[in-house]
Structure 1
Amino acid sequence: MNSGKPPVVPTQRLFLALWPDEATRGQLAAHANQWIWPPGCIRYAPADWHATLHFIGDVATEKAAAIAACAVVPFQPFELVLDQPRLWDHGLAVLCAPVVPMSLRLLHDRLGHALDGLAQALDPRPYVVHVTLARHAAAAIAPAVLAPVRWPVRGFSLVVSTGLQAPRYRVIRQYP
């Protein structure tokens, strides 16, 4: 019997991101441990730290292979420096980059064009490179002085949000 409802299409919540190596994660942990975190703050686990390149959103699972293929773009390794702790709206504590390296700008643009070619909606806001450290952190106090996190970026990843508390994300493809 047909209920008249369209079939449920399985989806995945995807994004492209810079994924830190162990050494960079260690630097980020040292930085995060210098903050004074308020009660009720939810700190992100080190395994979840990343810098989003493009949030893709919920897509049909069958479309994931096309997205993975379109993300094969020229890539030039670079160093990303993160040294600007910030508290953003909605209680997000982040660590930002003061400068976006040209190689990162090119990567972001190339991936944007590739996704646009698949008719994927892109975030219209200006790109701000950051790593989210915690949420519900409006009353957090950032360190006054900190050593910059120096992240040697050698690639990027296609990532799926698991919907779980841990692991929150799972890398499904690494580039290059």
Structure 2
Amino acid sequence: MTHPDASAPTDRLFLALWPDTRLRGALARHADDWRWPRSARRVRTEKLHLTLHFIGEVVRSRTAALIDALAVPCAPFQLALGRPANWAHGLAVLEIVRPPAALADLHGALGEALQRAGLAVERRAFRPHVTLARQAAGALPPAQGPELAWAVRGYALVVSDPGAGGGYRVLAHYPAQGAGG
């Protein structure tokens, strides 16, 4: 995103489904069962998530307004994670088994909210997944993929902190309607 003052501080943002601690642990245990090449860079357990939309660099002074602009209605739904795959460019992922219509609906509604806020939406097709590792060409998943149940109860706006030790910070959590918090 372009802005008039190139020196203004920015946040690198994305929208994601953010797993709870239990699911994140199950994902990490599944990743432990893969055979990884030496080059593999596994995603740290606390960073495991499913990206809905990558937003990119946004002038920090706009972030507070975006928190409100990205609130869209969301119903609770279920996902089943369980199809291990090696994607191009060395990505090892766990794909969604039978993606529900509710996931596509949420992705679409968030894309519309991003456009209303004046932000670009990626043009490539949405391929829902959890990235387990990068630089992992040749990784071998276990013979049996898990089928991990994910009770989606909302989504999050997340900032990616820069630097080698950087992590992710949830800036806003948007609970699903009727999700009980």
Q: If the length of structure 2 is used for normalisation, what is the TM-score? A: 0.90
Distance in 1, Cα, partners of 2:86 & 2:138: 9
> Which residue in 2 is equivalent to 1:103?
102
> Which residue in 1 is equivalent to 2:136?
137
**Does residue 66 in structure 1 map to residue 65 in structure 2?**
yes
Q: CA RMSD in A?
A: 1.3
Instruction: Indicate the larger mover: 158-167 or 15-24.
Output: 158-167
Percent identity over paired residues = 46
Instruction: Indicate the larger mover: 127-136 or 162-171.
Output: 162-171
> Which residue in 1 is equivalent to 2:28?
29
Report the secondary structure of 1:12's partner residue: strand
- Report if aligned partners of 1:51, 1:131 keep a CA contact under 8 Å in 2: yes
Distance in 1, Cα, partners of 2:24 & 2:85: 18
Distance in 1, Cα, partners of 2:30 & 2:49: 14
CA shift at 1:40, angstroms? 2.1
1:24-58 Cα offsets, whole Å, 9 max, x none, are: 11221121111001112111111000000110000
- Report if aligned partners of 2:15, 2:53 keep a CA contact under 8 Å in 1: yes
Aligned pairs (5 A) from 1:69-148: 69-148=68-147
> Which residue in 2 is equivalent to 1:155?
154
Unaligned segments of structure 1, at least 5 residues: 1-5
1:79-138 Cα offsets, whole Å, 9 max, x none, are: 111111111111111100132212111111111111110121111011111000001100
Unaligned segments of structure 2, at least 5 residues: 176-181
CA shift at 1:164, angstroms? 3.2
Distance in 1, Cα, partners of 2:124 & 2:97: 17
Please tell me the residue identity of whatever aligns with 1:24.
L
Distance in 2, Cα, partners of 1:44 & 1:15: 16
Residues 166, 154 of structure 1: CA spacing in aligned structure 2 closer, same or farther, 3 A cutoff?
Answer: farther
Highest CA radius of gyration, 1 or 2? Answer: 1
Residues 49, 165 of structure 1: CA spacing in aligned structure 2 closer, same or farther, 3 A cutoff?
Answer: farther
CA shift at 1:167, angstroms? 4.5
> Which residue in 2 is equivalent to 1:3?
none
